[in-house]
Amino acid sequence: MITTHYIEEARQANVVGMMRFGRLLAEGSPSDLLEKYSRPSLEEVFLNLCLGDDVDEEGKKKEEKEKAGEESIKVRMRWALLRNGGAKS
């Protein structure tokens, strides 16, 4: 087993695993990955996988973070209303 940041070096391996932020995005022989993703190089396969990956560097799905952010705003708004004596009619 070897690890490398030089993706084209991996063409010599029997099996390649492409990881991003500690998550395995794809695994297979170099020729299988090139064929599966219809790309001319392993680097382009990896870039294609990264563009389709919706997880950030903390391993959280972007959609989940957006939803959590919206919930946080709602909670802060409710708290502000309670602090100010409730909603005005």
Residue ranges covered by each domain of the chain: 7-83
Tens of pLDDT along 35-69?
Answer: 999 999 999 999 999 888 665 555 555 555 566 66
Total-model pTM: 0.58
Percent of the chain with pLDDT over 90: 33
Is the distance from CB of 20 to CB of 49 less than 8 angstroms? yes
pLDDT tens-digit map of 61-70: 555 556 666 6
Considering only CA atoms, which of 24, 23, 52, 22 is closest in space to residue 37?
A: 52
- Rounded to the nearest integer, the mean pLDDT of the chain is 79
Structure tokens at 71: 């919930």
Record the tokens describing residue 58, joined without a space.
């903390």
10 Cβ contact partners less than 8 Å away, ≥ 6 residues apart: 4, 16, 30, 42
Tell me the pLDDT band of 32, cut-offs 50, 70 and 90: very high
